[in-house]
Every structure is written in structure tokens, then in C-alpha cells.
Chain A
């Protein structure tokens, strides 16, 4: 290092870079750095978590040669993004996600109509009347509780909505926040449906349930590991997340309320203003058909297939045997989504 004490000599060691060109070059770099592109590709926002979306989309690429660039958002975030980007859409497809998000999006006009061939096989609730979205899976809600907690408190797994009001669960339940998660919206509409759309009755129940809530999570599955670990006693989740938790090894119980619980179709839609129309349509075709849905069971992804020709995984079917799945009117849900969520935020979330 030497003992030179004169700063000037050090300065000579400084590289002679013109500052301005450095800045320009650096700013230009991101535009110039190429991205590995397959022959054909498209972009999607996926509401399905990465560990579900990735295997499916990789299978699609294998089957069709089309590469899908995707990023994962929760349903509320995805919708917000699409709305904000309306003037300059960044993606072609919205992949996966509960139906209520799609009906809300349909209302906002962010989709372009496209009906895949397999849609004709699907019942009415699995497709949009205007052809704006199509279901690719079905996902019932379940109650999930921590086994040890039940044992310690001498409880049976909850078999009724009212069981969740048990004071033993005080501040021990985790479930999704309706502002960001479709799981929550489906849950709320299930409660309303169970109360025959009597909103006041439904909201009265939810206000009581609030006492037992430990936290409302940002995403639908956010409470699963806390329940698995015992930090929370239980919650209401989509079956796909609940079973995934069980598969990971956490000791939990899955149960259903006798009054019935809702199920949300998982959908796919073509974004208006998309730039890779042909590829996008191929993806929608593929996902709405048995081509993708027959891969769900072998991949241990616990969605129910939407297409009638695909048989559900036997273990999954066994779990659902005792379930009473009630139908939620998607049209009604879509029309009233914002209002109901706002009411939930005002009366339930902030009541505590």
C-alpha cells in the first residue's frame, strides 16, 4: 500500500471515466440486456401460488413450446395491477384465481372475450356469460384446525359455523383479509349464502366471529402454517392450501360445517390489450381442458378439476365426501363485491 501521503498521487490511480457516458450507459443497460426468449412466449399474472403455477406452466411449455413469463400476485393485488395498467397492459393472461376476482374484473372491463372449445362441456357457473373468463378448477373452502389445540381444549373439529364462535377459540383464529384475498371474499359470500343472503344476519355472525380472530392475513393461505404450528388454533381456507399444509407434515384436522360452505371456481381470462393473442389463447385452451386438469392429481395439487371429464384425485374426493358444498351466485357476488367488502372493512375489520 505504500506510505504516500499526498492525495494527488492517489488521484492518478483513478480511472479516467467520463461521468456522463457512464450514467447514460448504465441507464441504457436494462433496456439492452436481453432476456432469453423462447420461440413464442406470453406474459401472465398468476394468482395461483408459484408452487402450483410453475409445474402447470412448465407442462404447458413442454406441450406447446410456448414459454410463460409470470409473476404471482394475490387476487386483490392482481386486480389492482390490471386496473392500474389498463392504459398500457403488461400481461396477456390472468391465470388462476377465484371467480369473484374475475367477475369484478369483468365488470371493470379488463378482459377480452374468448371462449375455449372445452367451455361447451362446462356447467354455467364455470364460465362467464359474456365469455370473459373460464374456470380451470374448483376450490371448496374448508375449516382447518390444529389437532393438539383441539386435544388440549377437549374439542371436536368444528362441524358448524357456530362452532367457530366458541370462546375457546378467542384470538386464536386466522383467516384472510377481504381487501387482498379472494379466499376471504368467497368465505364472506358463503356466510351470506348460508344465511340466505340476509346481509344483516351474515354480518352479525361475522362481527361475533371477529372476537375470535387473531389476525386477518394478506393472502388466503397465510394462516395455514400458524395453524399448523399451533400458533393459531384454526381458520377457514381453500382446500388446496389446507391439504398442502397437511402434506407438509403439520398435524391438522379438516372439517366442514353442516350448514354448508362455498366453493370458488378458479378461472383464467384473456386480458384486453394483450400483445400475444395467439399464444394466450392456446394457454386458455389448454388450461380449460383435461390437458392441464388431468395433471393436477398427479402433481398433488388439490384443486378439483372443473372439466367434467377429469376425475378428481381419490384422496381429495374422500376428504370432500362429508362436505356440503353450496353454490354462490357468481353474478350476484360480482355485482356486490365492492359494496360487501367495504361493509366488511367498516363493520367487521375495524370493529375490533
Chain B
């Protein structure tokens, strides 16, 4: 098979019956309008309207206020640094796992280590950082004897965010590297250049679109990160999401909070736009050649490979250390003061914290299937069918995902607090927030999978007499099952670990574990905070493993794809 570029599977000409079609589209648009467009409109109106008049005065004041400009600048600087460092780190990991022979054996292990930060509740890295690198830090003071280290500020926030987010770059880059056939590197090598030359002139250019994509992903994540700076940035380094949060929750100033969050919208929007336009068009997809079961070309020399592997293991060890620290904090009475082992904290979270656990699990378990179904439905509509508002639907469905959580949270708070739709205080608002915010990953996966399925399959099914629902159920659904499971996984993981949007939405009736963790953190009840965190991690690992097993069992062997990861 000659090396070829991605061919976009043509749109299906098979349409479902008219009533189903129109009703379904209308229903979906209704959902999108209510849960995505309406809250954002409310946000804009609160920011720009004063008693019904368009007033840009508050916006002008906010934009020109030096502290806001500083926060914006800090946010951008931090995001830039995290984007670069995280992408580089992710590339090193991806390259090591894919190309260094001695790393093959430990690749599973590395996968797991890099999986951990992705499923962790907020503050995990931050807490560990403070304990390790602070003035009395375990590493800086106890181990290395350095005194008076400043742990709060840009450096720590940057380091913590890089370690938290680089797995995203790793997950984005690894399949890319895997898809670049080693025969390309062999060809380059056989033509005489050194390994480094081959890497530089062949591998690297082919990975650049994926690198750019990873950078943008990380940039966006850092921009929206609310939890890490809350702990680590200190008072000298303010960033926008935290500022917006403090404006609202501290100064009960919804208007300024809304405006600040909109300031965040600009870079976030640009990033998203860049991702969609600049990167998507330039991917080179190659077809792997003869899968030499026994192919053994070394892309890196032995020494270089050992160095890379060693570095990756070092970073992984650091990550593991953080989690061990977390676990340790959960089983001692008072970390730093009283190191008696105890299960007291776990007792506390299962008694006093039980409502939060119950609430979070209920919300996660309800949101999960909703998110999965929503994901493949929109994915199918957008990726496979034609209708007038298709492009618009695609864009709108991505909105809540593209925006920083703070914006979405504030928007929901404004939109659903009063009539016509008073949803605050219910689980519905939390579920809706999660579903509409995180399903886009399921949507994208569905679209990607659909692109690999030729439309003639649906046509064949139709020619055999099957209606559209039957075709969808018996042909398409099994083939996009991995996307469904991806959607399930993401919504579940996020429901268990997200905070930046939903911190505005908790209520007496429904509270979340992550909010409890924050509360415990701020009340410096570290034991329960750590215990909650460990609980969340265990539950998430269990559920995603179960989902993976289920997916493997339900998928026909010939269609097996990779794990659910992020």
C-alpha cells in the first residue's frame, strides 16, 4: 500500500426517516442552546449590560486596571512556559517509549505513571510540592539542607503544572510517533546520515503538527488551571482564573468576575482557533509497512537510549513519590507533627464525608452514560451526516470544552440561578456542566473513528433493507464503540476530579469530593484531604480499568484499538 494521506470518508447519503431526523436535530439544538449558548449569553450580559444598557465602562476599567493586566500577562507567561516544557517532556517520554528498545519492557509502567496525573483530583501535585520543596520541605530542607526556599510563585506553579499536564502531550504524541513507520528512519539511516540526522530531517518534521497540537493543548490547560495557582502561585503571582474566582467568591462581585473570565476567553479562543485551523490541515499520515514482528532497527544508540530511559524513569519516580506522599499524609494523624499511623482520616471521609462521596458518585454515574451517548450522537451527526446547521453544531458543541472551567462555572451560576431555569441546588446543573463540558472528547473520538469507516458499509446495510436506526445500532455503533467508551471514561474521570467550573455550582443538596478536598485544604485538614484524594484515585483507576475490560470484551478482535486514557 503506498503511503497516503488521510482521506476524509465521504458523507453518508443514507438519511434516517424524516420524523426522527427533524425531531432529533431539534432536540439536540435545544439542549445545546440551553446548556451552552444561554449561559454564555448571560455571562456576556452581566459583563456588558448595566440595567439593560450596553456599557463597556466596566470592561474598560477592568482591562486597564494594572492588576488585571498583570494577571493576564502572568497567565499567558505561565501558559507559554508550561506549553513548551510540557510538550518537550511529553516528546521525550513518547520518543523513549516508542523508539528506545530497552524501554519496551517498562512502557506499561511508564504508561501507568503518566496516567496518574490525568486522573488525579486537583491539588495533588501542589500539596506534594509544598511539602517537598517548601522552607521545611522534605526534599529541600530534610534531604538537601537548603534553607528558606520560596515555594510559592511562578517557578513552583510552572513546575507543578508541567508535571500535571505533560501526560497529555505524551498521549497526543505517542500514537503519532507510533504511526511513523520505522522504515522511514531505516531508509534515512541506510542513505548514510547519523541517527540524529535522521531524527532531525525525517522524524521531527513529521511530528511537528502533533507537537504544535500538544503545545496548544497544554497552553489551554495551563490557562484554565484554577487549582494549582490557588495553592502555589502565592500572592505575588496572580493569574486570571484564580482572580476571577476570588472576585466572585470573595468580593461577591459577579460583574467583575464575569469580566475577568471573559478576559480569559480571548487567549483561550485564539488557542482553540489555532488548533482547529493551523494544525489539522498539516498532518502527514503514513501507513506502516510490513509489520516486522522482528524489526529491530535502533533509532537511538545504546547510550542515548539509556540516558533517555533514565531521565524518564527519574521523572516517573518523582511522580510516584508525590503520590506516596499523598498516601502517607492520609494515614498519619497530623503530617509534620504527629506521625502516628491511623485510619482515622478514612473513617472521617466515609462518615462525615459520605454525603460528598455519595453525591459525587451519583453524579458521575449518571453523567457517564449521558456523556457517552451525547458524545457519539453529536459525533455521528457532525462527522457523518449533512444538514444545514452542521458546522454550527460542531462549533457550539465544542464551546464549553474550549473555555476555561471558571468561565463555564460562572456562566452556569448566572444562568441557572433564577427563572426561567432555576437549576442551582440540583444535581442537574452539575451533571449538565460535566456532560456538556467534557463530552467533546467523545465527539472528537467518534468523528475520528468514523473517518476510518467507509460509507459503503451504511449503503450496504440500507440496500439490505435496514432502517437508519438499525444501521446505526448494528453497524455503526459497534464500530464506534471505543469512542463511546472514551466518552464514558472522560466524563466519569472529570466528574470525579474537576473543580474549576463546579466549585461555583455546589449546594446544600449536592456537594462534590473535590470541593471537600479544597475545603479541607484551606482548613488545613490535610489528612481528610489526602484520604479523599486517594479514594478518588482508587475509584477512577478501578472504573477505567473496568471500562477497558468491558471494551475489550465487547469489541470484535479484528477491531481492537488502544486503551481509554484521557
Which residues of A does B touch, CB under 8 Å? Answer: 1, 3-8, 10-14, 19, 22-23, 26-27, 29-31, 33, 35, 43-45, 49-51, 54, 69-74, 76-77, 79-80, 83-85, 87-88, 90-91, 171-172, 177-181, 213-219, 221-226, 228-232, 248-251, 338, 341, 345-346, 349-350, 352
Pick the residue among B70, B246, B252, B478 that contacts A14 (CB under 8 A).
B478
Q: Is B150 an interface residue (CB 8 A)?
A: yes
Residues on the B chain within 8 Å of A249, using CB:
333-334, 337-338
Q: Is B525 an interface residue (CB 8 A)?
A: yes
* Contact call A7/B478, Cβ cutoff below 8 A: yes
* Contact call A71/B252, Cβ cutoff below 8 A: no
Question: Using an 8 Å CB-CB cutoff, how does the interface string of B248-265 with A read, 1 for contact, 0 for none?
Answer: 111110100000000000
* Contact call A8/B474, Cβ cutoff below 8 A: yes
Residues on the A chain within 8 Å of B148, using CB:
171-172
* Contact call A221/B524, Cβ cutoff below 8 A: yes
Residues on the A chain within 8 Å of B525, using CB:
49, 51
Pick the residue among B135, B475, B523 that contacts A7 (CB under 8 A).
B475
Residues on the B chain within 8 Å of A214, using CB:
150, 152, 234
Residues on the B chain within 8 Å of A3, using CB:
557
* Contact call A222/B417, Cβ cutoff below 8 A: no
Within 8 A of A (CB), among B119-162: 130, 134-137, 148, 150-152
Name the 5 nearest CB pairs between A and B, nearest first. A179-B250, A30-B427, A80-B252, A225-B524, A180-B250
* Contact call A215/B234, Cβ cutoff below 8 A: yes
> How many Å lie between the Cα of A26 and that of B338 in the bound state?
46
> How many Å lie between the Cα of A33 and that of B337 in the bound state?
43
> How many Å lie between the Cα of A50 and that of B518 in the bound state?
13
* Contact call A76/B249, Cβ cutoff below 8 A: yes
> How many Å lie between the Cα of A88 and that of B417 in the bound state?
7
Q: Is B177 an interface residue (CB 8 A)?
A: no
Residues on the A chain within 8 Å of B47, using CB:
none
Q: Is B373 an interface residue (CB 8 A)?
A: yes
Residue of B nearest to A50 (CB): B352
* Contact call B507/A90, Cβ cutoff below 8 A: yes
**Number of A-B residue pairs at CB separation under 8 A:** 196
* Contact call A90/B369, Cβ cutoff below 8 A: no
With contacts A50-B352, A225-B526, A229-B337 taken as known, whether A23 is within 8 angstroms of B554 at the C-beta atoms is: no
A sample of 24 cross-chain residue pairs with beta-carbon separation below 8 angstroms, ordered by A number, consists of A1-B557, A5-B557, A8-B474, A8-B478, A10-B478, A11-B475, A14-B477, A26-B370, A30-B426, A33-B427, A50-B519, A51-B523, A71-B506, A80-B249, A80-B254, A88-B422, A218-B246, A221-B524, A222-B523, A225-B336, A225-B524, A230-B136, A231-B137, A250-B337
* Contact call B427/A352, Cβ cutoff below 8 A: no
* Contact call A229/B336, Cβ cutoff below 8 A: yes
Closest beta carbon of chain A to B222's beta carbon, Å: 20
Residues on the B chain within 8 Å of A10, using CB:
478, 554-556
Residue of A nearest to B503 (CB): A77
Pick the residue among B67, B235, B363 that contacts A177 (CB under 8 A).
B235
Closest beta carbon of chain A to B280's beta carbon, Å: 29
> How many Å lie between the Cα of A3 and that of B148 in the bound state?
64
> How many Å lie between the Cα of A3 and that of B362 in the bound state?
37
> How many Å lie between the Cα of A45 and that of B478 in the bound state?
48
Residues on the B chain within 8 Å of A70, using CB:
508
* Contact call B136/A88, Cβ cutoff below 8 A: no
Q: Is B534 an interface residue (CB 8 A)?
A: no
* Contact call B479/A7, Cβ cutoff below 8 A: yes
Residues on the A chain within 8 Å of B523, using CB:
49-51, 219, 221-222
* Contact call B352/A88, Cβ cutoff below 8 A: no
With contacts A7-B475, A8-B474, A70-B508 taken as known, whether A222 is within 8 angstroms of B524 at the C-beta atoms is: yes
> How many Å lie between the Cα of A44 and that of B508 in the bound state?
8
Q: Is B236 an interface residue (CB 8 A)?
A: yes
Closest beta carbon of chain A to B70's beta carbon, Å: 8
* Contact call B559/A7, Cβ cutoff below 8 A: yes
Residue of B nearest to A348 (CB): B235
Closest beta carbon of chain B to A71's beta carbon, Å: 5
* Contact call A31/B426, Cβ cutoff below 8 A: yes
> How many Å lie between the Cα of A163 and that of B413 in the bound state?
44
Given A10-B478, A29-B427, 20 additional A-B pairs, CB 8 A: A8-B474, A23-B370, A27-B370, A30-B427, A30-B431, A54-B352, A69-B509, A71-B507, A74-B522, A76-B249, A76-B250, A80-B254, A84-B413, A88-B418, A179-B247, A224-B524, A230-B136, A231-B136, A249-B337, A349-B235
